[in-house]
Structures are given as structure tokens and as C-alpha cells.
Structure 1
Amino acid sequence: MNQRSDGGPVGQCGLPERSVPQTNMRENTVLGGRVRIWQPLDGYRVAIDPVLLAAAVDPAEGAHVLDAGAGTGAALLCLGTRRPDLRITGLELDAWHAGLCQMSIEANGLEARCQVFCADLGHPPPEIPKAGYDAVMTNPPFADGGTPPEEARRARAHMEGADMPLTVWVARCLELLRPKGRLTVIHRADRLDALLRALSGQAGEVTLFPLWPRDGVAAERVIVAARKGVRGGTRLLPGLTLHGKGNDFASAAESVLRDAGALDLEPRGRR
């Protein structure tokens, strides 16, 4: 059984006994019903960001991927469902969220290839080795100021901590990535300057993939991919427009969010 950083099994990581009515959690689905995911009724809830993040990760066959800050496991589950050849490890600080992630791994029958550890990214357990992963994906806490959400877990998921600002978060992710491995991040578009500074001197061949809410509207999110310890210029791709004229997703976005399609961020042959 997967282990918590304090030695306890992650299957019991913050979860009530299975005999207790589970009234504070609910099972939902993503990827058009392909993925089952347990979430809290209140607090942190999955949006489309982790689904898009997982769609942007497409490493070589048989790669081992780390989801840093896995939350309740949406990115891990989506990637594991789309790419049945991959091994995926999640790392999540919040015990309750890690426990829900483990429940979802089991609900989707991914136990043979996916696991989650309840631990701090700044102090990972021995089972999370430095330079041990072919790819790392992450959806870091994106708020660096302002009033935090009232619900404590939601605040922890969304707010950068003083001990783990974006620069440190990125540095810790790169430490866990093998040389020339690929880091993929989804973040606020208005924090792109800070994200690029965090990568400077540590990773190259940077790819920028903006996510446009609709045509003619400024991007609110951006996916950034870079390779550890390599040099190379920055590529700005056309990105993805999420919505058409109405509130429905555009067809290209629908193919990713509903039909489990991938986002092409990297030319073939450079993995």
C-alpha cells in the first residue's frame, strides 16, 4: 500500500472509516464521464485547469510522470486514463485531498500504474526521488496576494505560501525531474513573467501555450512547458480558444475536455 510521509497508509489519509456515511464528499466525472473523481462537497473543487494540464503532457511511452500538488487527482486521473502506458505518481500536502485522490485511483482501476503520497513538495519522502521522473506536471497555487478564501483547504490550494512562492515551487519540481525531462505548468497568464523568471537558467526550450476564453479576449491562463538543463529559444504557439460565441465550449476545446484529446505542445522526436 502507498505510504504517507508520516508512515500511515495513504488510503486512510484524512479519510473517514468506510463504514461512516460519506456525506461530505461526492463522486463526479470529468472527460465526458471517462474519469470518476471524488471531491469535497465544500472547498476545493476541480475546474478545467487540471484537465487541460493533463492534455498538455505527452511523454515517451513508458515514462514515469509526477503530479506535484495533485489535489484530489484530476490531472493524474485524466493523464492515466488517456495514456495507459504511463506510470504516474501524485504528491499532495493536504491529507484529505490525498485520500480522495487515492479513492479515485481505485474507483478508476488505476492502482497498478498510479499512486499518491501525502507529503510536502519541499520535503518529499524517500519514495519521491530527486531527478527520478521523466516528466513533471503541476498546477501551482496561483494567488500571490489578496483575500484568501474562507474555507481553509480551498485557501491552501489557491494561495502561494510564504515558504513556497512560485520560484521555490518551480525549483522543487525541477529537482525531481531528470536531466532533459519536461516540466509542464498551467498558471495565470498575468504571472507569466514570474514563471519565466523561475525557469531562467534552469530550463530551456520553453513553449508558451495561451488559453483564450474566446476570440478577441485576453488569455487568463497559460500552459508553459520547458526542458530541464537544456538551452533553446522560446516558442509561442497559437494556443486554444475555449468558448465560441455562446457559453458552450468550442469544438477544439470540446475534443480535449470531453473526448480526452491531447494538446500538441512539442514537436515529435524531441521528447
Structure 2
Amino acid sequence: MESTEPLTEDRLLDGRLRLIQPRDGYRAAIDPVLLAAAVPARPADSVLDLGCGVGAAALCLLARCPEVTVTGLELQEGLAELARRNAALNAMEGRFIPLEGDAAAPPPGLSGFDHVLTNPPFFADGSGTPAANASRAAAHQEGGLDLAGWIKAAVKLLRPKGRLTLIHRAERLGDILVALRGRGVGDISILPLWPKADRAAGRVIVGARKGVRSPLRLLPGIVLHGDDGAFTPPAQAILRGGAAIETLGVGEEKT
């Protein structure tokens, strides 16, 4: 079923990716591009984009890593359909397979991924003012799964030694670390994203590996904007050039 909402066609990665998305609902900005850049995928890896929306993060990852396969799982039927359209629009149908489904009860057989990347809903249920648009509200507000439940579901879908990579609001880092505790994960990486050099981090990218015991690492962060408001060279390399955030996956991982 195709979405009947007004749509726009936008561009990512300096115009290399085309993205159809709702004009008034949830719209991808820079978060999914940064998330994709943080995934240390290798050729032939299997990847799950949990809560894939219209497919922005998955498509950015595939632009950088064309030899991986990405499965998307999206609760909202309209967004899942747009993700399928975007896969076709960018000639990535065979490599990006969006499915409609609930993270709380994934489709049978969906497990054992080398990577799970995710941009969970930012706001706890009952906090803040929900967006007037129902699709945008569903994407931003926790519903059937709170943040801890979302992280539990993501870890469960990984193979042993697989890696979880997520992006979230910096103020919820404590909740993320609590949610990871007791999940059998280690090698936790925290990468702050600062809007400007003199500002507090607004986002964090957190990585963790299932079934390993390496200690937590606080990584060098990335400043996104200079004093003039323009993107810094590192940010431009990621957002326009599609470069990887190499520091989140330092060294050769054991399989």
C-alpha cells in the first residue's frame, strides 16, 4: 500500500542518494547519515536497520559498503513502503530489503546479524509535547518499547560478537548505559557529537559488541559546525563524502 501523504524527493551524500519521504511526517536529517558512517561493516556482513524509517541510514551505509546486505524493520506501513521505493530509486533493491514489523516481536527467522544499527525514538512515553503529525509522533515517542526494551531487542538480534551501533540524544546516555548493563555486551564505545566546539554534545553514537568483555571507550568526538555555521571538514567528509567514522571501529575485530 503506497503512502497517500504529500511527499518530497530529497538528496543525501552531496546528491548521490535520492530519498522520497513525507513532507509533513518524520523526515531524515543528518542523524541517519552519521549513524551509517559509524557502522564498521565489512564485505559480506549482514546488517539490520532496526526502525529503518524510509531507509536513509541503510542507503547511506550501502553507498559506502556496497558488498553488505541490509534488512530494514519498520513498524509504520507507509514508511516501510517508502523504504522499498527508495531502495528501487537508488538501484539497491537486492541489497536493501525493508520489512514491515515490530521490534517488540520481530518476524520469525530475523536474527544472527553481524550489525544492528538503530536510531531509537528519542522521547520517553509521556515526556515532551507529541508532534501533531501522527507518523512523526510515532517515530519520536517511545510506544510499546521503551529505550531499554529497544536495546534489548537489538542485542537479541545480533550474532555472538556482532555489533550494535545507535545514535541518540546525549542527555539519554545514562539510560543507554543502564540498558546495556546485563545484556552480555562489552567493547562499549561512546562518541560525542558537538554542534559547535563550545557547545555541549547534542547527540552521542554508542557502539557495543555482544558476548565480548573489552572495556568501555570514550572516543574523540566530532564538532559538526564551525563558528560561521558551516559544516566542519570532518562533518563534510561524512555528510557529503560518505566517509566512515573510523574511530568507532578501531582495529580489526575478532570474529
TM-score (norm 2): 0.95
Residues 132-151 of structure 1: CA distance to partner in whole angstroms, max 9, x if unpaired? 20000000000111111111
**Structure 1: any 5+ residue segments left out of the alignment?**
1-11, 17-22
Moved more, 135-144 or 54-63: 54-63
> How far apart are the structure 2 equivalents of 1:83 and 1:60?
7
Match in the other structure for 1:155: 137
> How far apart are the structure 1 equivalents of 2:253 and 2:40?
11
Identify which of 164, 168, 181 aligns with 1:200: 181
Match in the other structure for 2:96: 114
Alignment of 1:91-130 (within 5 A): 91-128=73-110, 130=111
> How far apart are the structure 2 equivalents of 1:42 and 1:176?
32
TM-score (norm 1): 0.90
Identify which of 42, 64, 67 aligns with 2:24: 42
> How far apart are the structure 1 equivalents of 2:65 and 2:41?
9
Deviation, structure 1 residue 268: 2.1
Identify which of 199, 203, 206 aligns with 1:224: 206
Deviation, structure 1 residue 267: 1.6
Q: Across the two proteins, how many residue pairs are aligned to each other? A: 250
Contact persistence 2:168–2:203 (CA under 8 A): yes
Q: Which amino acid aligns with 1:58?
A: P
Deviation, structure 1 residue 127: 4.7
Match in the other structure for 2:253: 270
Q: Which amino acid aligns with 1:158?
A: H
Q: Which amino acid aligns with 1:15?
A: S
4+ residue runs of structure 1 moved beyond 2 angstroms?
none
**Structure 2: any 5+ residue segments left out of the alignment?**
none
Q: Tell me, yes or no, if structure 1 residue 172 matches structure 2 residue 160.
A: no
Identify which of 136, 141, 146 aligns with 2:121: 141
Deviation, structure 1 residue 126: 2.1
Match in the other structure for 1:15: 3
The percentage of counterpart residues that share the same residue type is: 48
SS state at 1:46 partner: coil
> How far apart are the structure 2 equivalents of 1:91 and 1:79?
15
> How far apart are the structure 2 equivalents of 1:113 and 1:153?
26
